Every structure is written in C-alpha cells, then in structure tokens.
C-alpha cells in the first residue's frame, strides 16, 4: 500500500499538469465537476455569512429567505409577468441590433469604403451613455415598450457592429487569395469563404452582446415601467425589500446563464468547422 501511493500521486500531478496547460482541453466530466464545485463554494460562503450572523439580512438575505420570497412572487404570478416582460424587451432589442449589425459589420470589416462611411458615426455614438439618451427616446418614441426596446438596441448595436467588423477584418487574406486562385468569383469568395470564416467569431460576439443587453435592463425599465425584472428591482429598492431585489437579480442571472449555454450549444451544432468545436 505504501509503495503505491507515490505512483498514484505522481499520476495525479501529471494529469493536473496537463490540464493546466494554456488552451488545453479537459474532460467534460471534470469541467462540470469544477463548475459545480465553484457554485457550491460560493453558496457555502453565502450561507456562512448569513446564517452565521456576520452580515445583516438587510444587506444580504440568506438563501432560504430569497427562495421563500421567490416562491411567493411565483405563486402570486408577478414573477412570471416580470420575467416575460423583460425577456420580450431584451430579445426584441437584441435581435434587431444583431440583424443589422452582423451584415453591416462584415461589410465594414471587409471593405474599406464601407468602413470609411460607417466607422466615424459608430465610434461617436458608442461612447454616448445610453441613459443620457433616454430623454430623447421618450421625446421621439414615448414611454411604452418601444422605448425600452430602443434602449437595448442602442446599447448593443454600436458595440456589436465593431466586434463583427474586427472579426471580419482578421480573416486571413491568404484564405481569400487561395479561393481566387482556384477560380472562385468575388460573390463565391464572400459567401463561401469570407462569411463562413467569420461566423464562429460572430457567434461569440452575439453571445457576449446578449450579456450586455441584460445589463441594460434596469436602465431600459427606469422610466414609466409597470412590469419587468428591472422594475421589480427598482420598486423593491424604494421599500428596502432586499430579498425581492435579490430575487430579481437571481432570475436575471439564471436567464442570462441559460441563454449563454444555449449559444454555446448553438455554436457546436451550427458551426462544426469552428476551432472551438
């Protein structure tokens, strides 16, 4: 028994050394185990701080308090109403931004003429705080759902178009030249080489900007909202209902996490040529 332990320990250390190499893949079971351990570790720390009395419930409610409040909001139907309203706003604004930003970004990154035409405007607008544009949006659109969708659109479109343009601009020119050498026309090079080469990066950027869209939710529902998770958080803040604030944050985090995992799954299914796959 004593003689076997160093061998087992050595194999373990060698395996960990392999897993800690930069950009080295690890087994899926190990990945899920580490991810679960990280989540449980955070939950343990949270429980120690709250159940141990180290932090007042006014500032950090316990997990059971948040679960209890979430169940109450779910049973009276308000949580579902808020989640549906916010999901509609987020996905509508983001989808409109993606539908315009992806083709324009590919054109901007591939053709200098388009870049010269679009980039100055994009660079100017993307530095403007979205919250500062809300008075103008209310003036132009009103205070309904369209205004909230416009906030999400502006917050994601001008960032996404530059991210996509950067991906398109970094497609290897040797790849395009090889296609021309083999007799491909310009249209075929664009549709059969350039666009497929950009899609893995575009999919990653879509996933990233979806996360940004969720961060603009509270800003979008700041004015004249009567439903939505952002409204739930702001309304709870006025009454110092910290448990309700955390319920809203938890739901946003869970919806965002589910969306992120969906994009990763979509990446594997739709883009089998991607280096990540």
Per the domain annotation, does 142 fall within a domain? yes
Token pair for 210: 């979806």
Say whether both 212 and 94 belong to one domain. Answer: yes
One domain for residues 14 and 83: no
* Least confident residue range of 99-108, 156-165, 198-207, 213-222: 213-222
Could you report the per-residue pLDDT of 105-156, keeping only the tens digit for each?
Answer: 999 999 999 999 999 999 999 898 888 888 898 888 888 889 999 999 999 9
Q: What confidence tier does 187 reach under pLDDT thresholds 50, 70, 90?
A: confident
Q: Please tell me which residue, 25 or 92, carries the higher pLDDT value.
A: 92
Residues 144 and 14 in one domain: no
Say if residue 222 is in the same domain as residue 197.
yes
Question: The domain spanning residue 97 has which CATH number?
Answer: 1.10.3720.10
The answer, yes or no, to whether residue 53 has pLDDT greater than 70, is: yes
In DSSP notation, the chain reads -TTTHHHHHHHHHHHHHHHTSTT----HHHHHHHHHHHHHHHHHHHHHHHHTTSS-TTTS--HHHHHHHHHHHHHTTHHHHHHHHHHHHHHHHHHHHHHHHHHHHHHHHH-HHHHHHHHHHHHHHTTS-GGGGHHHHHHHH-SSHHHHHHHHHHHHHHHHHHHHHHHHHTS-HHHHHHHHHTT--HHHIIIIIIHHHHHHHHHHHHHHHHHHHHHTHHHHTSSS-SSSHHHHHHHHHHTT-HHHHHHHHHHHHHHHHHHHHHHHHHHHHH-TTSTT-
- Whether the per-residue pLDDT at 221 is higher than 80: the answer is yes
* Token reading at 219: 């800003």
Pairwise CA distance, residues 258 & 20, whole Å: 27
Say yes or no: 39 and 96 in one domain. no
Q: How many domains does the chain have?
A: 2
Q: Give the mean pLDDT of 248-253.
A: 93
Q: Looking at per-residue confidence, does 9 or 230 come out higher?
A: 230
Is residue 128 domain-shared with residue 217, that is, in the same domain?
A: yes
Buried b (16+ CB within 10 A) or exposed e, 27-37: eeeeeeeeeee
Greatest CA span in the chain, whole angstroms? Answer: 79
119 lies in the same domain as 17: no
Q: Please report which confidence band the pLDDT of residue 269 belongs to, taking 50, 70 and 90 as the band edges.
A: very high
For residue 13, what pLDDT band results from cuts at 50, 70 and 90? low
Is the per-residue pLDDT at 84 higher than 80? yes
pLDDT at 215: 87
pLDDT of residue 74: 93
Structure confidence at residue 3 as a pLDDT band (50, 70, 90): very low
Would the pLDDT of 232 be above 80?
yes
Give pLDDT, residue 8: 64
Confirm whether pTM is higher than 0.85. Answer: no
Rounded distance, CA 155 to CA 88, Å? 16
Name the region of 37 (left: φ>0; alpha: ψ -120 to 50; beta: rest).
Answer: alpha
* Mean model confidence pLDDT for the chain: 88
Residues 97, 177 within the same domain: yes
Measured in degrees and rounded to the nearest 5, phi and psi for residue 57 equal -65, -20
Task: Please give the average per-residue pLDDT across 197-219, as a whole number.
Answer: 91
pLDDT average, residue stretch 223-251: 88
The tokens of 229 are what?
Answer: 């998770």
47 and 84 together in one domain: no
Domain coverage including residue 205: 63-270
- Do the domain assignments include residue 141? yes
Whole-angstrom CA distances from 174 to 169, 181, 182, 185, 191 are 13, 10, 12, 15, 16
275 assigned to some structural domain: no
Mean pLDDT of 183-196: 88
CA–CA dist 85, 63 (Å, integer): 25
**Pair 46, 249: CB distance under 8 Å:** no
Percent of the chain residues past pLDDT 70, beyond the cut: 94
Going by pLDDT thresholds of 50, 70 and 90, the confidence category of residue 172 is confident
User: From residue 249, how far is each of 23, 37, 242, 255 by CA, in Å?
Assistant: 32, 22, 11, 10
Average pLDDT over residues 87-112: 94
With pLDDT > 90 as the criterion, what percentage of the chain qualifies? 51
Query: Is 233 inside any structural domain?
Result: yes
Asked if residue 95 and residue 29 are part of one domain, the reply reads: no
- Most trustworthy range by pLDDT among 10-24, 132-146, 210-224, 241-255: 241-255
Per-residue pLDDT, 1: 45
* C-alpha angle 45-50-55 in degrees, rounded to nearest 5: 105
């Amino acid at each position: 028994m004593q003689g076997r332990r160093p061998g087992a320990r050595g194999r373990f250390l060698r395996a960990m050394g392999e897993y800690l190499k930069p950009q080295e893949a690890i087994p899926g079971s190990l990945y899920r185990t580490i991810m679960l351990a990280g989540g449980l570790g955070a939950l343990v720390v949270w429980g120690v701080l709250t159940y141990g009395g180290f932090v007042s419930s006014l500032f950090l409610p316990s997990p059971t308090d948040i679960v209890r409040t979430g169940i109450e909001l779910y049973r009276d139907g308000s949580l579902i109403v808020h989640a549906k309203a916010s999901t509609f706003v987020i996905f509508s604004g983001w989808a409109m931004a993606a539908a315009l930003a992806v083709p324009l970004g590919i054109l901007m990154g591939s053709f200098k003429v388009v870049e010269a035409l679009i980039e100055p405007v994009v660079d100017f607008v993307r530095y403007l705080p979205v919250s500062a544009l809300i008075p103008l949006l209310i003036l132009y659109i009103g205070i309904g759902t369209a205004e909230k969708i416009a906030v999400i659109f502006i917050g994601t479109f001008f960032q996404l178009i530059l991210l996509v343009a950067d991906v398109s601009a970094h497609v290897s020119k040797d790849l395009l030249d090889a296609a021309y050498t083999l007799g491909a026309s310009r249209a075929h090079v664009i549709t059969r080489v350039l666009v497929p080469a950009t899609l893995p990066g575009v999919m990653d950027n879509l996933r990233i900007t979806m996360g940004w869209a969720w961060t603009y939710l509270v800003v979008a529902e700041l004015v004249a909202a009567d439903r939505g998770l952002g409204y739930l958080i702001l309304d709870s803040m006025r009454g110092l209902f910290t448990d309700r604030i955390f319920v809203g944050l938890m739901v946003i985090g869970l919806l965002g996490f589910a969306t992120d995992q969906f994009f990763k799954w979509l990446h594997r299914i739709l883009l089998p040529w991607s280096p990540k796959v």
